Amino acid sequence: MTHFARRAIGLFALATLSVAPAMAQERVDLATVNKIRDEAMNRSQIMETMSWLTDVYGPRLTASPTTRAAAEWTMKTMAGWGVQNTHLESWPFHYTGWRNDRFALQVTGGNPFTVAAAPRAWSPAPLKGIVKGEALMFVLDSLADTAKFAGKLRGKFAMLSPVPELKAHFTADAQRLTDEELQKLAAQPLPAAGGGGFGGRPAGARPAVTRPSPNDTTFLKFLAKEGVSGILLAARGDFGTVFTDNGAPRVKNPPVVPAVHVSAEHYGRIARMLAKGQSVPMELSMQNTISPDTMSFNVMGEIPGTDPALKDEIVMLGGHFDSWHAGTGATDNAAGSAVMMEALRIFQALGLKPRRTIRIGLWTGEEQGLIGSREYVKAHYGERRGDTVFTKAEYDKFSGYFNVDNGTGKIRGVYLQGNAGVKSIFDAWLQPFWANGAQTITYSNTGGTDHQAFDGVGLPGWQFIQDPVEYGTRTHHSNQDVYERIQADDMKHNAAVVASFVWMTAQRDAKLPRKGGYVLKPAVTP
């Protein structure tokens, strides 16, 4: 999930909304819900799935060989449960895949130590796999300042970041949503009418940065020409946690300059040694695998519907399958993928036969801009241009999409995305889980993950409200995003909630309401 995905955007709507009239009490199949919850809590396989995705396959950068291997295992596993039509649906990524195979950064002189660090995603490896040099503070205010260092950088590890200022932690890293926070969400008004992007991320104010960036091609060319050994960047985080910075492949064929994120504590130590006039010799060992195939894929599977009148209609559940590389992609987002897989396993274990077809979509390319889910929606359902959605034949057969991508924390409710028509329905569906703390319905929107690809073209798509636990403070895109940070009981609860919502969507006589607001036109087939 992206940096902004953890924040609810309460007053932002993607379409013109109308409040639906009061509805009769929604029927809840409590007998089946209880069976689902019993299977989820007492015979769960979700942590075994988590271990395979994280411990065995590890980080799953989009288009990497590791991601493909994990996808093959996922399809085989789901097929073993009886899920049908498991397959990979390809889409063009337009970049190479990347996997880090070997990495170590050492201070080799004085009092040697191993540096806590992680390679930047898609960073080139040193041409010979190992490179040596001395650290040099190279914090510039503007690109013009590079001229002063011409001829002085060969064989140096250029430290481009200011020294981080760390503060004591007086609050716990892990948090549960408080009653007050949940009440505030529940009290949000229906969002005002307005436009929104096609599954885009909410914009956030960021301070202007004028200093040269490692994403700046001109700056990279200067460093490469000068013969630097590598780039060192101060990582966000402390206590040895190394957050990566979404270093997506921003340019084609960038100059060969290895880049590394260094823990705040070790970055500061090196900087202070340099300030005392000490030489800091270093050695970087790094090898990467580059995948020339520029296609990626989504992992798909189905439980076919059985009602002759409804089996062609689709209920979807999903989350993104890709991750960043410093950890093993546990909370972001093997957790969401495992929850959705577990929901399918529960259906099969109980022998449930849905009226509508249930389809899973595990997306890649989410971390690069929701690409996989957006490509899927475009291929199957339609494309939005302004306030017009050019629809395909499957558009009218879609009932709803449920997404999980807020870490390991317990589901506490649902973001309605401004869809007033489903409020009374979801209120009823949540009631069996009230005692477990899931009882909040909010009109608010939340951004930054794959439900927006559906919501952006007027299809019903939702993300669940979850406890943050350690997501923003410790695991989000960091080297601590690992199996040990997963809360097993929360995950079991999440699988039960998701499976119940998906099941009742599949069984109701009518499709779930849509919020409207777009002009719909059939897409013209070339």
| Residues 271, 401 within the same domain | no
| Residues 284, 338 within the same domain | no
The predicted pLDDT at position 525 comes to: 65
Q: pLDDT for 87-102, tens place per residue?
A: 999 999 988 889 999 9
**Percent of the chain whose pLDDT exceeds 70:** 90
The predicted pLDDT at position 417 comes to: 95
Question: Over 60: is that where the pLDDT of 5 sits?
Answer: no
- The residues near 524 (Cβ < 8 Å, ≥ 6 apart) are 390
Range in 31-40, 181-190, 242-251 with the lowest mean pLDDT: 242-251
Residue 493 and residue 361 in contact, taking contact as beta carbons nearer than 8 Å: no
Question: Over 90: is that where the pLDDT of 424 sits?
Answer: yes
Residue 53 and residue 70 in contact, taking contact as beta carbons nearer than 8 Å: yes
| Residues 464, 327 within the same domain | yes
- When the pLDDT of each residue in the chain is averaged and rounded to a whole number, the result is 90
Q: Indicate whether this model's pTM tops 0.75.
A: yes
Question: Over 50: is that where the pLDDT of 128 sits?
Answer: yes
Q: Which domain holds residue 28?
A: 3-94+176-203+294-522
Question: Over 70: is that where the pLDDT of 222 sits?
Answer: yes
Q: Which one-letter DSSP state was computed for residue 408? A: T
Report the pLDDT averaged over residues 145-174: 94
The predicted pLDDT at position 82 comes to: 98
Q: pLDDT for 280-339, tens place per residue?
A: 999 999 999 988 878 999 999 999 999 999 999 999 999 999 999 999 999 999 999 999
Q: pLDDT for 372-383, tens place per residue?
A: 999 999 999 999
Q: Which of 291, 315, 337 is the last residue of a domain?
A: 291
Measure the CA–CA gap between 161 and 112, rounded to whole angstroms.
22
The predicted pLDDT at position 210 comes to: 63
User: 């009882």: which residue's tokens?
Assistant: 439
| Residues 250, 272 within the same domain | yes
Say how many residues make up the chain: 526
Q: pLDDT for 163-202, tens place per residue?
A: 999 999 999 999 999 999 999 999 999 987 544 444 444 3
Tokens of 207: 């301070």
Measure the CA–CA gap between 264 and 471, rounded to whole angstroms.
19
Report the pLDDT averaged over residues 70-87: 98
**CATH code, 264:** 3.50.30.30
| Residues 106, 27 within the same domain | no
Q: Phi and psi of 158, rounded to 5°?
A: -80, 115
Q: Is residue 215 reached through a cis peptide bond, with omega within 30 degrees of 0 on the bond before it?
A: no
Question: Over 50: is that where the pLDDT of 524 sits?
Answer: yes
Measure the CA–CA gap between 9 and 11, rounded to whole angstroms.
6
Q: Count CA within 13 A, CB hemisphere, residue 113.
A: 10
Amino acid at 493: H
Measure the CA–CA gap between 123 and 188, rounded to whole angstroms.
43
